[in-house]
Amino acid sequence: MEEEQLKKRIEALDKRLDNIDSVVTALVERVMRQPVTVEVTCPKCGSVIQILLTSNVKSSTKSPG
């Protein structure tokens, strides 16, 4: 029974990691196109911290070669 529970928990963790990967990938793709502002609230003091993510990489439509 314990082994079955461990397998289920590992599967759940794997799904969560896949979801996190999808979110991070989508965020990175968006940052590559336009700036993104992320606001984080400090749980202790309630201050809001704004983080601006930008990219300096220009996408190119030319194919290599």
- Give me the residue spans of the domains in the chain: 2-53
The pLDDT tens digits of the residues spanning 8-45 come to 999 999 999 999 999 988 887 876 777 778 899 998 99
Owner of token pair 């990219």: 55
CA distances to 11, 19, 30, 42, 64 from 24, in Å? 20, 9, 10, 21, 27
Under 8 Å between Cβ of 57 and 32: yes
Owner of token pair 């290599």: 64
The pLDDT value recorded for residue 61 is 54
The pLDDT value recorded for residue 29 is 80
Query: Which pTM was predicted?
Result: 0.47
Residue 50: pLDDT band with limits 50, 70, 90: very high
Helix, strand or coil, per DSSP, at residue 41: strand
